[in-house]
Amino acid sequence: MVSAAASLPPALPGLDPAWSRLVPVHDAATGRPVVHHVLDTGSALAAEGIEPVGTILAVHGNPTWSYLWRGVVAESLARARSGAEAWRVVAVDQLEMGWSERTDVVRRVADRVRDLGALTDALGLEGPVVALGHDWGGVIVSGWALEHQDVLAGLVLTNTAVDGHAALPAALKAALAASSVGTEHTTAFLDTTLAIAHPRLDPAIRSAFRTPYRAAARRQGIREFVADIPGTDSHPSRAALDGIAAGLTGLEAPALLLWGPRDPVFQERYLHDLVDRLPHAAVHRFEGAGHLLPEDADVAGAVLDWVAAPTPARSAVAAAVPVVETRAMWAELDARADDDGPALVELHGDESRSISWRLLARRVHELAAGFHAIGMQAGDRVSLLVPPGADLTAALYACLRIGATVVVADAGLGLTGLTRAVKGARPSWVIGIPVGLAAARALGWPGVRIAPTGLSRAARAALGVEHTLPELARLGRGRALPPEPGPDALAAVLFTSGSTGPAKGVRYTHARLAGVRDALVSQYGITRDTGLVAGFAPFALFGPAFGCRTSVPDMDVTKPRTLTAAALAKAVAAIDADMIFVSPAALTNVLATAEDPEPFDGVQLLLTVGAPVGAPLLDRAQQLLRGASLRTPYGMTETLLVADVTREAIHEAGEGNGVCVGPPITRAEVRIAPLDEAGVPAAVTTTDADVTGEIQVHAPHMLAGYDRLWRTDAAAKAGTPQEEWHRTGDVGHLDAQGRLWVEGRLPHVVTTADGVVTPVRIELAAQRAGAPRAAAVGVGPRGTQQLVVVVEGQEGPLADPGTAEAVRRETDRFVAAVLAVPVLPTDIRHNAKIDRAKMARWATEVLAGGKVAAP
């Protein structure tokens, strides 16, 4: 190959020619000056008199070039011009790549790290510098960062790998096997890389990435980069890669790991390796994104948010609401280890299984010791794929006792949702029933497999089971337990229902989880004499922590509507229950199948949890539970108890804008961030009456943060590190009596030309007009959206004229269209939260003359 001079790129979409410059640098490999092409915002900032606070040094991988970072360049300039903190961005084209010089020299990892250092010396880069890399550019920029720690302010890595000893992914093996045919003589490797973007790249963008590599002679660097992958111990770059990997293990500079989980090249095991090496790193996984992460997701916004954050806020586990040490979750089990009274009763058809406090406490102790004996350590993550009952309860408390972190994801998320949750949480252990373990084996979920019960040898082999709970209980008998975890240790990662997007892992420390228990006990007067029917899965696990006897009714917990009145009556009778926890969907089916209220006459308290409940459903429930107080707690996975209201208080509040969920509990504070005309919450909050906005919560029992979702976590925080508030994403208002009203979800606010419309009041109006349920959605561009109401119970897609007229008559806003479907789609966990986003997409298609089939 003949060396080719560097040049400036032609006009390309999203690339301002003013950003490009050529930089001559002395090259140790050739002994002469070579020229690098870089994108550099330094001149633009200087021309506008803006002094940057530091530099972001961005390095591409193979087979891309600095064009990959055009979003970071553009966003950094936009923020600087708006008055935000200014960062200079320098995005390089590595030698032999992009528009930099072709020197006809084979450059290995160590050479490229040296090249980058020579370039930054020539540019005169001084600290602070944030190093940013993608693909093999992540390796190169990591090597540079380790050699320039005196100026290093942070390291940001996106979909890369430094573990050279792991088995190469199939995609890299294929690239190596293709050699020069697929990488240099044809554009196969380049085309394949560009084809795995999610969503598919615009043709003009694909063409822009290809532009510097049109001729085979300009693709030699692509071939050499692939060939430099150290697939064997004898590879010339193995020592350099191992040195970088070892160096990252001791790097103390702030770090951010951004990841596209759909990457077939740098799979999640490489992210996990980086997390192990950089345990202080903040992590954000962009669900749905893949290898070309800067093209798939808002990497520019994430990077610039991170560099602008105060250094303590960049850590993986930022401090949140101060907590006080409290009784451990297993304290009641220890206190009642000699009690032969029933702790837990499971019901399956005509059969029941009763577990005493003595047996449960012993089982928890034995399992905890057995877990520890096989190597489960404090901080290990344990995925629990077991339905509510004795096995799940014992395993959960055993994990908590030794300091392992339980990962709980609802089976109702489906295989896709569960796979996202389990792989994202990265458990070291999986405890699951056969169907869960089969999914884990088939879908490659991580973790040592443990079955709740004995299995045949063939079944164990097929499922990859290494242990069973009975075996581990026997192993743990007579063994001492390790020290108890501290209150600030991570106790659980609880996944949300996924009703408003991919399910998120919510982190709870031991103190915060115990705080949830304390809030519930205090609010509802739960004592050792209480008998609790847990028809809502999460609360089956709190029974031992409450210290009360608990029964689990015969139902499919992933389908709340499967709870019948007969099954609930049996669960009540089994423990002489006086308290029931159920979801609104479960309660609806109980009422539909009930014939006799007498079995429920001993019930004193009914709690319907999971979604706000209106008075009509509670009025019907009161006819069945004649002596019970009916209450509807308001909360979310992030803060399980925020407010509480009785049926009588709902009637007293009357009709209003939304659903009344009552005053905040004594352990929680609520404030409102008012919405502007675009539906955006203000920075200034209020507790004034009748101001609609985003609901924010402050409580000692709220989440510690989201798991490996740094940007989501940062966006959900308000206030100060000393007094953090959680932005719930719900919209509502406080009334003059201090009661909270929920009006819908922030993403579902309709922004019309006449102002914002929150959906719940429109949906309630449609119900007053006779619709069983309704969804109020916006169609069209934000700011000029048209309000559309979709009612349930008709074939549609247009509602019958009488219904449409009644809906319009009941609402106080102009309704552009009233559509209809047989059944409104709802969330998986509760079967109660209407999927408004899906209905908005469907309504848009219907009104545009597209498909009319109900979603």
What CATH number is given to the structural domain containing 623?
Answer: 3.40.50.12780
Residues 358 and 284 in one domain: no
Residues 732 and 753 in one domain: no
In a domain, 12, yes or no: no
CA 737 to centroid of chain Cα atoms = 35
The pLDDT assigned to 525 comes to 95
Residues 407 and 523 in one domain: yes
587 CB contacts (<8 Å, ≥6 apart)?
Answer: 606, 608, 613, 617, 621
Residues 543 and 559 in one domain: yes
The pLDDT assigned to 3 comes to 61
Residues 571 and 664 in one domain: no
The pLDDT assigned to 496 comes to 86
Which tokens is 379 given? 């901080």
In a domain, 642, yes or no: no
Residues 204 and 228 in one domain: yes
Q: How far apart are CA 145 and CA 141, in angstroms?
A: 6
CA distance to 265, 319, 673, per residue, from 509 (Å): 34, 11, 27
Residue 685 DSSP SS3: coil
Q: Is the dihedral of CA 145, 147, 153, 154 positive or negative?
A: positive
CA distance to 508, 561, 654, 701, 829, per residue, from 637 (Å): 10, 20, 28, 11, 12
Taking alpha carbons only, the member of 215, 112, 134, 228 closest to residue 176 is 228
Amino acid, res. 698:
H
CA distance to 342, 361, 547, per residue, from 356 (Å): 4, 8, 12
Cβ–Cβ < 8 Å for 249, 277: yes
Residue 357 DSSP SS3: helix
To which residue do tokens 């499967």 refer?
562
CATH number at residue 660: 2.30.38.10
CATH number at residue 24: 3.40.50.1820
Q: How far apart are CA 840 and CA 757, in angstroms?
A: 14
Dihedral pair phi/psi, residue 675, rounded to 5°: -90, 140
Taking alpha carbons only, the member of 534, 600, 518 closest to residue 390 is 534
- Whether the link from the prior residue into 446 is cis, omega within 30° of 0, is no
Residues 673 and 795 in one domain: no
Burial class (CB in 10 A: 0-12, 13-18, 19+), 74: middle
**What number of other Cβ atoms are within 10 A of residue 349's Cβ?**
8
In a domain, 710, yes or no: no
The pLDDT assigned to 80 comes to 97
Amino acid, res. 821:
V
61 CB contacts (<8 Å, ≥6 apart)?
Answer: 133, 134, 135, 136, 137, 138, 160, 225
Tally of domains within the chain: 4
pLDDT along the chain (855 residues), means of 10: 78 96 95 96 97 98 97 98 97 97 95 98 94 97 98 97 78 66 87 95 97 95 92 91 95 96 92 94 95 97 94 57 72 96 92 94 98 97 90 96 92 74 87 88 87 92 95 96 95 82 90 95 96 85 93 86 94 96 91 94 91 82 95 93 95 92 96 96 96 96 94 91 91 97 94 94 91 93 95 91 94 92 73 81 90 74
Cβ–Cβ < 8 Å for 357, 381: no
CA 251 to centroid of chain Cα atoms = 27
Residues 497 and 453 in one domain: yes
Domain finish residue from 611, 637, 663: 637
The pLDDT assigned to 14 comes to 97
566 CB contacts (<8 Å, ≥6 apart)?
Answer: 593
In a domain, 706, yes or no: no
In a domain, 709, yes or no: no
CATH number at residue 785: 3.30.300.30
In a domain, 688, yes or no: yes
Residues 501 and 514 in one domain: yes
Domain finish residue from 253, 288, 314: 314
Q: What residues make up the domain containing 697?
A: 652-701+723-744
Residues 609 and 758 in one domain: no
Residues 286 and 335 in one domain: no
Taking alpha carbons only, the member of 767, 765, 787, 785 closest to residue 777 is 787
DSSP 8-state assignment for residue 267: -
Residue 671 DSSP SS3: strand
DSSP 8-state assignment for residue 834: B
Q: How far apart are CA 682 and CA 544, in angstroms?
A: 42
In a domain, 498, yes or no: yes
Rounded to two decimals, what is the model's pTM? 0.90
Cβ–Cβ < 8 Å for 440, 385: yes
Q: How far apart are CA 402 and CA 399, in angstroms?
A: 6
Q: How far apart are CA 476 and CA 380, in angstroms?
A: 18
Spatial strand order of the sheet with 255-259 comes to: 20-27, 32-40, 87-92, 54-59, 129-134, 152-158, 255-259, 282-285
Which tokens is 244 given? 């970088």
The pLDDT assigned to 393 comes to 94
Residues 658 and 766 in one domain: no
Which tokens is 11 given? 């006009």
Q: How far apart are CA 145 and CA 158, in angstroms?
A: 15
Q: Is the dihedral of CA 690, 692, 697, 703 positive or negative?
A: positive
In a domain, 325, yes or no: no
Taking alpha carbons only, the member of 197, 144, 159, 148 closest to residue 61 is 159
Domain finish residue from 744, 778, 809: 744
